[in-house]
Amino acid sequence: MDYISDENVKSLAQHLIDIDRNIVLIFAFNGTGKTRLSVEYKNVTKEENDGSHSGVYYNAYSEDLFVWNNDAENIGESIKLNIIYSNLNQYHSSIDEEKLREKLSAYKPKFDFKFNFNSDIALGIESISFYPLTEESEPDSIKISRGEQQIFIWCLFLTMFDIQGWTGQQNSHFFIDDPVSSLDDHNIFVTASTIMDLIEDHCDERKIIITTHHVGFFSILADWLKKGEKASSYKTKTKILILKKSNDELNLIDCKKDVFLYHLELLQVLKHAIDDKKLFAYHFAILRQVLENISSFLGVGRISYVLKQIGVEDVDDIARIVNTLSHKTVFRYEAKELVPDNEEMLLDIFNKLQNKYNFILHARGVNNE
């Protein structure tokens, strides 16, 4: 493993601080150093703020604060998710449970929850109990899945981001490090939608930094920020970067200055979904991004031009349908497989792209770093 010096990471953290944009989106392959960069960003900003936090963070360490009590010492007790005490506990009493349920609703949860506060409410939430959605008056508590747990914690932090008592004191920035690490594809793109909601609510007042290893998540956010329906509000506020490791050094590369062929990664995502016969509405968002990338490469900037080049008929109608189905509100609440007509359309466009351009796609498990 290449050794990356602390000085190198600290200089990148300072570079991020100096970027005069309020929205910074960063892609990096797993193992590159995303989490290390987020920790160093926290350290540098604390140094500049007399040792106090100036921002709010969501990363793997955030999830580590939540631990199940289902070990041998707790046999016979009701199962619950314990919260390790931290400086966040003082803000727990300000969490709006209904707002939390509202944020969870986008993921269509199959559970409800109850906060168990410490006897001294100033110490915050001691644990959380989860229950199946049932008509029983007092159902037994349950352990939710790893993915459901991550979704719950993410929505809890989204709710806490709105607490002015917390963000009012640490109101410089939000640093969100890879919020989709254990989620399935549909929930990954629902999370992208929640990120956009967060950006809409807060990007005028504070810097928001998002890092991810998931090329689809990265690509859709980049597309919405640069070419979406509200791109005019975000485009000049957004910086999109690639975190790259070369030998013993990390670098942040501007996408405009780097040949980053993530359209191949996106095509592989589509191919795997086609092979597995699991096509969902959000795959149109990926397809649209591929078409956008190709059209930009050809110097045209219209997906209808690419559709015409690959032999699609009625290109204006098909382009309109692709644009409609790639809107975030479509797949945010739609988890079912595509209807046959839309599936046939996606397959036809994908196959025509391959026949025209003969992209070389790797098999599953191949590392394309």
Residue 285 · residue 278 · CB < 8 Å: no
Cα separation values, 3 from 8, 9, 242, Å = 10, 11, 19
Which residues have a Cβ under 8 Å from the Cβ of 224 and sit 6 or more positions away? Answer: 192, 196, 230, 231, 234, 328
Q: Which of 32, 38, 40, 36 lies closest to 247, judged by CA?
A: 32
State which H helix or E strand residue 185 sits in.
Answer: helix 185-202
Q: Which of 342, 232, 237 lies closest to 285, judged by CA?
A: 342
Residue 226 · residue 235 · CB < 8 Å: yes
Which residues have a Cβ under 8 Å from the Cβ of 347 and sit 6 or more positions away? Answer: 274
Q: Which residue has the tokens 């501007």?
A: 254
DSSP string, 37-80: HHHHHHHHHHHTTTTS--EEEESHHHHTTEEE--SGGGTTSPP-
User: Between helices 97-105 and 146-161, what is the axis angle to 10°?
Assistant: 130
Measured CA to CA, the distance from residue 318 to residue 33 in angstroms comes to 41
* pTM higher than the cut 0.85: no
Domain spans of the chain, in order of start: 6-54+172-257, 62-156, 262-357
State which H helix or E strand residue 250 sits in.
Answer: strand 249-254
Task: Give the Cα-Cα-Cα angle 207, 213, 217 (nearest 5 degrees).
Answer: 70
**What distance lies between CA 230 and its chain's CA centroid?**
19
Task: Give the Cα-Cα-Cα angle 47, 52, 58 (nearest 5 degrees).
Answer: 100
Instruction: From first to last of the 369 residues of the chain, give the pLDDT tens digit.
Output: 357 899 999 999 999 999 999 999 998 877 788 889 999 999 999 998 888 888 888 988 888 999 998 754 555 468 999 999 988 888 899 999 999 999 999 899 999 999 999 999 889 999 999 999 876 777 889 999 988 999 999 999 999 888 865 655 677 899 999 888 778 777 888 899 999 999 999 999 899 999 998 877 887 888 788 877 788 889 899 999 989 887 788 999 887 644 345 677 778 888 888 988 888 877 888 888 788 778 877 777 788 999 999 999 999 999 988 888 776 555 554 556 678 899 999 999 999 999 998 887 765 544 444
Domain at 6-54+172-257, CATH from 3.40.1350, 3.30.160, 2.60.120, 3.40.50:
3.40.50
What are 130's strand-pairing partners? 113, 142
- What is the side-by-side order of every strand in the sheet holding 173-177? 55-58, 173-177, 207-212, 23-27, 238-246, 249-254
CA dihedral 181, 109, 129, 156 (to 10 degrees): 50
What are 67's strand-pairing partners? 82
Q: Which of 29, 56, 28, 30 lies closest to 41, judged by CA?
A: 56
Cα separation values, 306 from 34, 159, 236, 283, 284, Å = 35, 41, 27, 18, 15
Task: Give the Cα-Cα-Cα angle 269, 181, 158 (nearest 5 degrees).
Answer: 115
